[in-house]
Amino acid sequence: MTMNSLGRSRLRLPTVSVAALAAALVLAAPGPAASDGGEGAPDIAQVTTTFPRAVALGDVEHGRELWEFECAACHEMGRGAEDGIGPQLNRVFGRRAAAIADFPYSDSIIRMGRDGLTWTYRTLDAYIENPYALVSGTRMSYPGLEDADDRADLLAFIRLYSDQPADIPEAEPTARRVEVELPPEVLEIRGDREWGEYLASECTTCHQRDGAAAGIPSITHWPEDRFVVAMHAYREGLRPHSTMQNIARRLEDEDIAALAAYFATIDD
Ligand code: HEC
Ligand code: HEC
C-alpha cells in the first residue's frame, strides 16, 4: 500500500526505548479494569448523549423513556449519581448484587449477593421482570416490567452506564485479561492515520465512532500501544472473541497501527 509507506517515511520513529515500551505494554493491555477510569472508559456525560448504531441490545431511546417512567424515581445513573430510595446503578452490569457500601439493602438481596448473584443481562432481565421472583425479600417495591422488548430497551439504556465487555450478552464472558508480547519492530510502526480512517469504516458498524459503549466496548482514545496489543491478541487467538479474531486476522501489522492512530485521535 503506497499510502502506508508514504505515511511511515514521513513520520519519525519514537525515541523511547523499545524494551521499556514493550515491558510497559505487557502491564498495560486493556481489559475490564480499563473501564474503571482508564483512558478506554467513556465519559459518562458523553455516553448519555450518544446512541448505539448497528448492534444494539434494544432501542436506547425507548429505554431512556422507560427508565424515566419506571426507575428514575428511585434510582440515579450518570455523573455524580447518588443513592436514593434505591442504589445508584452506574456500572451495574457485572456488579455483585448489593455491592454499594452503606446502602441499606434488604437482608434478602445481601444474602444473594454473598451467594454470588451478579448483575448480568440475564439476571437484570429476571429482576426487572419480577423482582420478588429473583430476590424474594427484596425491598424494591416495583411490580415488574412484563414486556420482554421493553426490558431489552431499558437494559440497552442502562448498559450505556456500564462499560464492561464481559457483560455483552452475545460475547459473554470473554473479557479475560490477556497479553501478547510483540516484537519491537511491530511496536515501532507509526500508523498512517488516513489509511486507518479508511479501514475504520468496517469497525464503526459495531464500535461507535463517538466512543459510546452500548453493548460493544469503546475503542476510541486508547493509547495507540494498548490498541495495537489488543488487536494482536485477537489475531493470535489469545483474546477469545471469534468475530474480533477473524477481523484482526485480516489485518496487516501496518493496518493495525493505522487503526490505532486513527481511533486514538478520532475527533481531532
Ligand atoms: C419504588 C422505588 C424503586 C423503583 C421504582 C425501582 N427500584 Fe430498583 N431498587 C429499589 C430498592 C429499594 C432497591 C434495593 C433492593 C433491596 O435492598 O432488596 C433496588 C435495587 C435494584 C437493583 C439492585 C442493585 C444492587 O446494588 O444490587 C437493580 C438492578 C434495580 N433496583 C433496578 C431497577 C430498575 C431497572 C428499575 C426500573 C424498571 C427499578 N429498579 C425500579 C427501589 C426501586
Ligand atoms: C461485528 C461487530 C464488530 C466489528 C465489525 C468490530 N468489532 Fe471490535 N469488538 C466487537 C466486540 C463484540 C468486542 C468485545 C469482544 C470481547 O469481549 O473480547 C470487540 C472488541 C474490540 C476491542 C477490544 C476492546 C476492549 O475493551 O478490550 C478492540 C480494540 C476492537 N474490538 C477493535 C476493532 C477494530 C479495530 C475493528 C475494525 C477493524 C473492529 N473492532 C470491528 C465487535 C466488533
Among 140, 162, 184, the domain-final residue is 162
Same-domain pairing of 147 and 178: no
- Give the pLDDT confidence score for residue 134 in this predicted structure: 82
On whether residue 167 sits in a domain, the answer given is no
pLDDT band, very low/low/confident/very high, at 78 (cuts 50, 70, 90): confident
- Give the pLDDT confidence score for residue 49 in this predicted structure: 28
Same-domain pairing of 189 and 204: yes
Tell me the residue ranges of DSSP E strands in the chain: none
Same-domain pairing of 202 and 219: yes
More confident: 90 or 56: 90
Find the angle CA(220)-CA(221)-CA(225) to the nearest 5 degrees: 105
Same-domain pairing of 148 and 186: no
On whether residue 76 sits in a domain, the answer given is yes
On whether residue 114 sits in a domain, the answer given is yes
Tell me: the pLDDT tens digits for 20-53? 444 433 333 333 333 333 333 333 333 332 333 2
Classified as helix, coil or strand, 49 is coil
pLDDT of 266 above 60: yes
Same-domain pairing of 35 and 90: no
Residue type, 68: E
- Give the pLDDT confidence score for residue 240 in this predicted structure: 65
Segment 11-22 mean pLDDT: 38
Range of the domain at 79: 48-162
On whether residue 149 sits in a domain, the answer given is yes
Contacts of 224 (CB under 8 A, 6+ apart): 191, 257, 260, 261, 264
Tell me: the pLDDT tens digits for 95-119? 899 999 999 999 989 988 888 888 8
Same-domain pairing of 121 and 204: no
Provide the whole-model pTM.
Answer: 0.48
Contacts of 140 (CB under 8 A, 6+ apart): 74, 86, 131
End-to-end distance of the chain based on CA atoms, in angstroms?
25
Q: How many domains does the chain have?
A: 2
Same-domain pairing of 191 and 208: yes
CATH of the domain at 153: 1.10.760.10
| Residues listed for the chain | 268
Same-domain pairing of 65 and 93: yes
User: Taking CB atoms and a 6 Å cutoff, what residues make up the pocket around ligand 1?
Assistant: 70-71, 73-75, 85-87, 89, 92, 97-100, 105-106, 108-109, 119, 124, 127-128, 135, 138-142, 145
DSSP labels, 238-250: SS--HHHHHHHHT
Residue type, 187: L
Same-domain pairing of 157 and 56: yes
Instruction: Tell me, in angstroms, the distance from the centre of ligand 1 to residue 134's CA.
Output: 12
Tell me: the pLDDT tens digits for 121-170? 888 988 998 888 888 788 999 999 999 999 999 998 888 787 544 444 44
Q: What is the mean pLDDT of the chain?
A: 73
Query: Which of the residue ranges 62-66, 75-79, 153-157 has the most confident prediction, judged by mean pLDDT?
Result: 62-66
Among 117, 132, 162, the domain-final residue is 162
On whether residue 152 sits in a domain, the answer given is yes
Say how many CA atoms lie within 13 Å of 65 toward its Cβ. 6
For 96, list phi and psi in degrees, rounded to 5: -65, 140
User: Taking CB atoms and a 6 Å cutoff, what residues make up the pocket around ligand 2?
Assistant: 30, 40, 55, 165, 168, 171, 174-175, 199, 202-203, 205-207, 216-217, 219, 227, 230-231, 239, 241, 243-244, 247, 259
* Cell numbers at 247, concatenated: 477481523
On whether residue 73 sits in a domain, the answer given is yes
- Give the pLDDT confidence score for residue 264 in this predicted structure: 92
Among 162, 196, 230, the domain-final residue is 162
Same-domain pairing of 20 and 58: no
The DSSP symbol for 189 reads P
Residue type, 162: S
More confident: 5 or 218: 218
pLDDT band, very low/low/confident/very high, at 85 (cuts 50, 70, 90): very high
On whether residue 88 sits in a domain, the answer given is yes
Contacts of 133 (CB under 8 A, 6+ apart): 126
Same-domain pairing of 12 and 83: no
- How many whole angstroms separate alpha carbon 240 and alpha carbon 29? 15
* Cell numbers at 64, concatenated: 431512556
Residue type, 159: R
**Is the CA virtual torsion 72, 73, 76, 81 positive or negative?**
positive
pLDDT band, very low/low/confident/very high, at 224 (cuts 50, 70, 90): confident
Same-domain pairing of 52 and 36: no
More confident: 169 or 250: 250
On whether residue 155 sits in a domain, the answer given is yes
